[in-house]
Amino acid sequence: MKSQKQGLRPYAIAQHNPAFTQKRCASYKIHIIATPYTLPLHGCCAPFWNPVSIHSTIIKEMKTSQEYFTSRNHHYVSQCLLRNFDENKAFHIYDKIQNKFYTKPGPKQLFSDDYLNVSLVNGLKTDIIEQNLNVNFEKDFKYHYESIKNYIEKRESDITKSIEYIGRLGVIGEIRNKEYKKKMDKDVLGVFDEIKNVSAPNNKNDIQDNLDSMSELRYKLSLDFVSFANDVFKNMGDWEYNIFLTSSDMYFFLPDCTSILQRFKINEYFNPNCLDIGEIGMPIDSHTFINIISKKVRTNNFKIVQIDENKLFQINHRLLASAKCAIVCANENFLKGTISKMIC
């Protein structure tokens, strides 16, 4: 495997993180560079970064600290989205792995895990990736969500940018999920173990040093979410969107992977089996679902559709199938009634 010294172009994760530098480290600039390796994500290649490979990192007044967090509990479904799926401050959940229902009083401990987005920077454990998620995918969610809701009511203005902003959150939902990250750690680090076993002594030591440096991290590898979302929309090319609405007594589920992603052969690659994400389906609240589809897949003539019970059942069935472990719903009776129909 070629090293960064041999001329492979590195991926830039974050040259400047305003949330981190302004609030926590006003005069310090953190510049993280990823290793240039890629891995397949269900037919789609995405960059991941090795937290040991740092191009330039300036961290002052932290030399004696072994960790630096702005937060500990990291969500793999954003709270700004989760809050649109509560009922009187209660979240009703169905776990399809354990086949059980339960309720949580708030989103704080829902679809989250401790240290999910912690990485190692020059021996310092930091949640800069969590901060980048907020800056690039979450901080303007409310504005774009309200723009879409206003468009539904008044049918005025162009909401293309708002659809894309929220769609990008849906695109990264699967690779943020803790179960997905566990599998990625197992698969990728397993490959490095195999490479180490057949490497020359110097390379073997370098690989082992990298693996050892990550041993104290709960999740070893971290994806470049911004680059992944950019690549998905670039590969989709021109796209259209539809908005599906339900009546007040029917509800969309929200899966622990945020969205439904469907892959198609819409571009030509050396590997003929390589597929790209061509359709993104995502509930943005209990009664509103956005569907983004590449024109390379198909074109549609409608924009906003009031769906019936059968269509809602089909979408919720796909949302449940997409979930790694669980889905949340705003209404307990609707959730239990729908699940009983799906699993009978």
**Tens-place pLDDT, residues 21-78:** 333 322 222 222 232 233 344 334 444 443 333 222 323 333 334 556 667 899 999 9
Specify the pLDDT at position 231: 95
Specify the pLDDT at position 22: 31
In this model, does residue 83 exceed pLDDT 80? yes
Residues 213 and 223: their CA atoms lie apart, in Å, by 17
Q: What is the mean pLDDT of the chain?
A: 80
pTM of structure = 0.79
Lowest mean pLDDT among 178-182, 203-207, 252-256, 270-274: 203-207
User: Residues for the chain: how many in total?
Assistant: 344
Torsion of Cα atoms, 222 then 227 then 232 then 234, to 10°: -170
Residues 91 and 256: their CA atoms lie apart, in Å, by 13
Cα angle value 47/173/130 (rounded, 5°): 70
